[in-house]
Amino acid sequence: MNFIKRLSLFETLLITAIISIHLYAAFSDAYNFPNWWFMRDDAYYYFKVAQNISQGLGSTFDGINLTNGYHPLWMLICIPIFALARFDLILPLRVLLMLMAVLNAATAVLIYRLVKSNLSTAVAMLAASFWAFNSYIHMNVYEPGLETPLAAFAIVLFIYKLSQLEKEWRTQSVATRQIAALAVSATIVMFSRLDLVFLAIIGGFWIIFRGRPIRSLLPLDILIIFASMTSSVALRTGIDQYNTTYAASAIEAMILVLVIKVIALYFFGAYQHPRADSVLKIIRQTGIAITVSSVLATGLYLLLVQLGIGKGFPRSAFVIDWGISLLLLLALRFTAHWFGDQKIKVGAQTTTPLTELQANWKKWLTEGVTYYGILGGALTIYMLYNKVTFGTSTPVSGQIKRWWGTLIETVYESPAPNWSSFFGISFQSAYDAWQPASKLFLWMAKIIHPLYRGSNTMDERYYIVMFVFAFLALIILFANARRSLRKASNMALIPLAASCGIQILSYTTTAYGGVKEWYWVSQMIFITLAGSLLLDLILRPLQKIKITRNLLKLAAIALSISLAYEFGFYVKTIMRYNYFLADRPYMEVLPYLEENTPPGSIIGMTGGGNAGYFIHDRTVVNMDGLINSYDYFQSLQNREAPIYLKEHGVTVIFASPRLLMFPPYKGQFAPYLENYSEYGGKNLMYLLEEPKYYKAPRK
């Protein structure tokens, strides 16, 4: 009730618009849901597992194999909703759509309050409406039916709580219960999407080291060191060879280098206030720290390789890493020097790193144990539960996709194939991590075609526009250095930016295959908040005049109405009423499968999420392994998947025989299949007890 009483008129109207549009969609024709809204096969992995859990069958997609291939918090939310599937398969989808509308509205309201309390009302209106009604955000966060609506809400809630803390700790002490509450919020972030663990960890640094320069420098240092070491290896080996051979050893070396470099940077004084030291001293401190740590890390890693603990790669990568990391870490400190408080003069810093540590270690340790005890304890319990229940401590889906990335010519999505993908700045692919901003860059790239002609120059024009925008943004930020730093700190943009970069690298540097567009929800939030800051800096002169300030509010309201109208029109277009026959099959393939297989059949399919949810009197077993058991994953790797499936009751396979010839299947199914029907480019095949012929394994 208190939350409702606190709602402003704009928030009330925003919530009303979001809920109304989604209510219209929720009551539309049943056929719309699997064909126009919840179209992603991956979403039905959640839906079917949740349905099975609600029926007492356990965490299983097919009722046969236990699986943990999902993000846990979203599954917990789905379970009671998909208990309704026993009455009607579409009813849970209607309920889920409305739950997503509530999460959308709550996220938009939090963005509004966060931006309004730090920037201006007009910019807050635009930021909230942009998030709520932007077509790209809707189609990749709210429409697929995956965990992303919950993840977006959890991220914004965590950032909002960090913003509140930022305004409190300067005037009053922070109680242990506040640290614990923030840790709980970070834990929710982590379990909403497990790859958001980086935001949860970086957020802890931001909280514990408040009041010290290390809180801003350390998150960005981690990002720089991560990018530097891995890209140095890729520079020496090439992207393709890096993915197939050296990704694991590069990550091992990166972790070692990261620990040693951070310790060296601290004790050589590189985490003291940048404005308290001269430029020469900054260069000397950072240079010595990086040189000493690079020598130590190189020697230690080579020793580990000799002992058989680590894996080797070109040693010159350590030299390249020294140069790249030194250059970028110095650039970061010069930037911090520019943005730092001008009241601090050179030589004003008298506290040595050791003195600082002696003065703060008890507080840092107490708060660190509280925060990371809760966060790490929850993660440890989760991993132990997975190990005991499923035989593996992490979701098998992630393990499978990393395995895909090490294979050559896999039929599924490849790992980052080039440098733009490696850093998440590709466009029109899953490695385009900075949407919706990159959509604007692409639009501008088309406009400047007359200035940069050529039929195959889109890449060049896109990156020219991107770098021009980045350069102009830096000019705006540097011209308003003090205000930019204060507002960015109040909105926790530094830890958010660092975690966004680290999350991208966690996929691109580990040869992860099968990256999807919806992974980048934290990047979408960063774009929304950082764009709000830039817009506020541009409009700042107009905000000082009452008339223009009111005009900006009116313009923001008009744009918000326009965005809501366009979004509503889109929803009305795809979610039609009385357009489809009530008895029309939800998927065209379902009648075919049901007519060509006897009731009770267990059908193996590559993917098969939506078919597994909607099919009657039959069971679908997932063959790519994403929502199958760890044992099946091992069988697939050992080229024994046909035997495993047959032992678990699979009698029919519905898949493309050609697809099954390529990695990750590598032709292992071919001797066990007998074709008897075909539909839509796929074959319906018997899975034989014994192979028709012997096929020697490929070496």
pLDDT at 624: 94
Report the distance separating Cα 660 and Cα 667, nearest Å. 6
Residues 164 and 110 in one domain: yes
Cis-peptide, bond into residue 436, ω within 30° of zero: yes
pLDDT, averaged across the chain: 93
Q: What is the pLDDT of residues 7-25, one digit of tens each?
A: 999 999 999 999 999 999 9
CB atoms within 10 A of CB 515: 23
Residues 201 and 226 in one domain: no
Residues 408 and 548 in one domain: yes
Report the distance separating Cα 311 and Cα 300, nearest Å. 12
Query: Is there a domain that residue 48 lies in?
Result: no
Query: Is there a domain that residue 58 lies in?
Result: no
Query: Is there a domain that residue 505 lies in?
Result: yes
Q: What is the pLDDT of residues 627-651, one digit of tens each?
A: 999 999 999 999 999 999 999 999 9
Residues 600 and 563 in one domain: no
pLDDT at 170: 85
How many residues would you count in the chain? Answer: 699
Report the distance separating Cα 473 and Cα 458, nearest Å. 22
Among 314, 349, 384, where does a domain finish?
349
Residues of the domain holding 658:
589-687
Can you tell me the mean pLDDT for 437-456? Answer: 86
The alpha helices in 209-345, defined as continuous H runs, are: 214-237, 239-241, 247-267, 279-306, 316-339
Query: Is there a domain that residue 359 lies in?
Result: no
Is residue 462's pLDDT more than 50?
A: yes
HEC string of 569-602? HHHHHHCCCCCCCCCCCCCCHHHHHHHHCCCCCE
Cis-peptide, bond into residue 599, ω within 30° of zero: no
Instruction: Please report, as a single letter, which amino acid is at residue 326.
Output: L
Number of domains in the chain: 3
Report the distance separating Cα 391 and Cα 374, nearest Å. 24
Sorted by sequence, the CB contacts under 8 Å of residue 682 that are 6+ apart come out as: 654, 655, 656
Query: Is there a domain that residue 149 lies in?
Result: yes
pLDDT at 1: 46
HEC string of 309-342? CCCCCCCHHHHHHHHHHHHHHHHHHHHHHHHCCC
Instruction: Say if CB 113 and CB 159 are below 8 A apart.
Output: no
Residues 339 and 430 in one domain: no
Residues 444 and 509 in one domain: yes
Is residue 149's pLDDT more than 90?
A: yes
Structure tokens at 99: 């739950």
Query: Is there a domain that residue 384 lies in?
Result: no
Residues 417 and 533 in one domain: yes
In b/e form, how buried is each residue of 549-580, taking b as 16+ CB within 10 angstroms? eeebbeebbeebeebbeebbeebeeebeeeee
Query: Is there a domain that residue 579 lies in?
Result: no
Lowest mean pLDDT of 128-132, 406-410, 429-433, name the range. 406-410
- Look at the block and give the residue holding tokens 């849901």: 33
Can you tell me the mean pLDDT for 230-240? Answer: 94
Residues 423 and 567 in one domain: yes
Q: What is the pLDDT of residues 467-517, one digit of tens each?
A: 999 999 999 999 998 899 999 999 999 999 999 999 999 999 999 998 999
Is residue 4's pLDDT more than 60?
A: no
Residues 78 and 138 in one domain: yes
Residues 84 and 118 in one domain: yes
Residues 560 and 666 in one domain: no
Query: Is there a domain that residue 57 lies in?
Result: no
